[in-house]
């Protein structure tokens, strides 16, 4: 049987009764759009983070795009981020009309090189957008110092970092606003698309509620454009409320898988995930690195284990972003790691039997390489 890099079915079997009850609750509520479940989830998700406002939207991409717009960012502005991220981070920035500007990443943690940010700041820079990639946070103290000195917004992309902590603080609580995705594979995943933006700023919250609702503050009257129809679905919101109560357990489950992988693979030539100072990792993906990555993946095919590469192409090398004008070689670490990384099966309900199969197969392959 193929071992998948991600599979929701074991978790669904464990939680079936609760998920069905969530669906039944919404279907019987008499309110299918922006009802009690969206409002409840927004309040509970914000409260989990100790923040005042959460606004549910239709996906993580729009949580970033509308979030940036709610912070006043748009055409003519520059947003500093990384090219080593999921494409939606940059699609969302681009979607606001602002220009994404990239700095390189650290070769050990794959996170934003915060020490390169200051040199990338221009008079047009409006926001710094750290991506808490793979489940651990960017070094926030120096980023905050820069933001204060230059009067910039910090917008956290937390799509991979639900429940992650940085010097004790939760991801999503360290900037002006933060975006989350609830795409099914994420650490907190829905049974379909979903997203949310968190903020403590009343005006940003108000802007978000208007932006996701056609530009309206009350029915049928558009106050201001742009407007979108980007509401979080009521069914997904109720499922997310139930799953939020288990978020800490999901994170524990992922940490246990990561711990077993690290133990089982410690004496191989694979470069295992590195933890940056002050971070509690939530292991959204378990990324390893090897200079002969393609040969390792080829050899693993015989073991029927499916792997993933997060991500095979740096954003600045994609044809869709050619207009940004980055040449190959502009971000050397980003480009090198994209050729060397791959990710192992990772989800909290991954059985120890399957974990051992993955470890055993990798040990065989590495020994024969």
Ligand X SMILES: *Cc1c(COP(=O)(O)O)cnc(C)c1O
Applying CB under 6 A, the residues found at the interface with ligand X are: 59-61, 85-86, 88-89, 131, 157, 159-160, 181, 183, 193, 195
Query: Rounded to 5 degrees, what are φ and ψ at 17?
Result: -60, -40
* Smallest gap from residue 213 Cβ to ligand X (A): 19
* Smallest gap from residue 112 Cβ to ligand X (A): 12
Q: What is the Cα–Cα distance from 71 to 93, expressed in whole angstroms?
A: 12
Say which of 65, 144, 186, 243 is annotated catalytic.
186
- Would you state the structure tokens that stand for residue 337, as one six-digit string? 């790691």
Nearer to ligand X, 85 or 96 (CB): 85
* Smallest gap from residue 108 Cβ to ligand X (A): 19
Nearer to ligand X, 61 or 96 (CB): 61
* Smallest gap from residue 155 Cβ to ligand X (A): 12
Terminal alpha carbon distance of the chain = 24
Nearer to ligand X, 174 or 362 (CB): 174
Pairing of strands 78-82, 99-103: parallel
Count CA within 13 A, CB hemisphere, residue 193. 10
Nearer to ligand X, 71 or 296 (CB): 71
Nearer to ligand X, 192 or 264 (CB): 192
Q: What is the Cα–Cα distance from 16 to 124, expressed in whole angstroms?
A: 50
Q: What is the Cα–Cα distance from 204 to 227, expressed in whole angstroms?
A: 15
351 to 110, 256, 259, 263, 358: CA distances (angstroms): 28, 11, 14, 16, 11
Q: What is the Cα–Cα distance from 285 to 177, expressed in whole angstroms?
A: 24
Task: Tell me whether residue 368 is exposed, middle or buried, using C-beta atoms within 10 angstroms of its C-beta: 0 to 12, 13 to 18, 19 or more.
Answer: exposed
Longest CA–CA separation in the chain, Å: 67
Nearer to ligand X, 83 or 89 (CB): 89
* Smallest gap from residue 264 Cβ to ligand X (A): 26
Q: Is 186 labeled as catalytic in the residue annotation?
A: yes
Q: Mapping DSSP to helix (H, G, I), strand (E, B) and coil, where does residue 134 land?
A: helix
* Smallest gap from residue 181 Cβ to ligand X (A): 3
Residue nearest to ligand X (CB): 60
Query: Rounded to 5 degrees, what are φ and ψ at 106?
Result: -75, 135
> Catalytic amino acids?
186
């Amino acid at each position: 049987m193929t071992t998948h890099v991600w599979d929701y079915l074991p978790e669904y079997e464990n939680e079936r009764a609760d998920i069905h009850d969530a669906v039944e609750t919404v279907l019987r509520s008499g309110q299918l759009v922006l009802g009690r479940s969206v409002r409840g989830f927004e309040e509970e998700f914000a409260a989990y983070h100790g923040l005042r406002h959460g606004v549910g939207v239709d996906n993580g991409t729009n949580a970033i795009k509308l979030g940036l717009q709610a912070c006043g960012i748009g055409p003519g502005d520059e947003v500093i981020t990384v090219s080593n991220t999921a494409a939606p981070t940059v699609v969302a920035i681009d979607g606001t009309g602002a220009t994404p500007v990239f700095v390189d990443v650290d070769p050990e943690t794959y996170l934003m090189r915060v020490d390169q940010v200051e040199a990338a700041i221009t008079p047009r820079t409006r926001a710094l957008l750290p991506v808490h990639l793979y489940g651990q946070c960017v070094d926030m103290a120096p980023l905050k110092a820069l933001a204060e000195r230059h009067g910039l917004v910090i917008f956290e992309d937390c799509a991979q970092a639900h429940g992650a902590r940085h010097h004790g603080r939760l991801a999503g609580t360290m900037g002006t606003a933060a975006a989350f995705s609830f795409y099914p594979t994420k650490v907190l995943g829905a049974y379909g698309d979903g997203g949310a933006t968190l903020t403590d700023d009343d005006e940003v919250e108000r802007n978000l509620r208007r932006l996701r609702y056609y530009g309206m503050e009350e029915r049928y009257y558009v106050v201001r454009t742009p407007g979108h129809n980007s509401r979080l679905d009521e069914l997904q919101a109720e499922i997310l409320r139930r799953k939020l109560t288990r978020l800490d357990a999901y994170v524990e489950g992922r940490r246990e898988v990561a711990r077993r992988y690290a133990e089982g693979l410690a004496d191989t030539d694979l470069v295992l995930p590195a933890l940056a100072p002050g971070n509690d990792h939530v292991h959204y993906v378990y990324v390893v690195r090897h200079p002969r990555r393609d040969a390792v993946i080829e050899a693993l095919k015989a073991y029927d284990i499916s792997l993933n590469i997060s991500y095979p192409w740096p954003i600045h090398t994609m044809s869709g972003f050619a207009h940004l004008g980055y040449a190959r070689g502009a971000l050397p670490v980003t480009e090198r790691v994209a050729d060397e990384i791959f990710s192992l099966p990772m989800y909290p309900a991954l059985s120890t039997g399957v974990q051992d199969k993955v470890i055993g197969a990798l040990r065989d392959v590495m020994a024969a390489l």
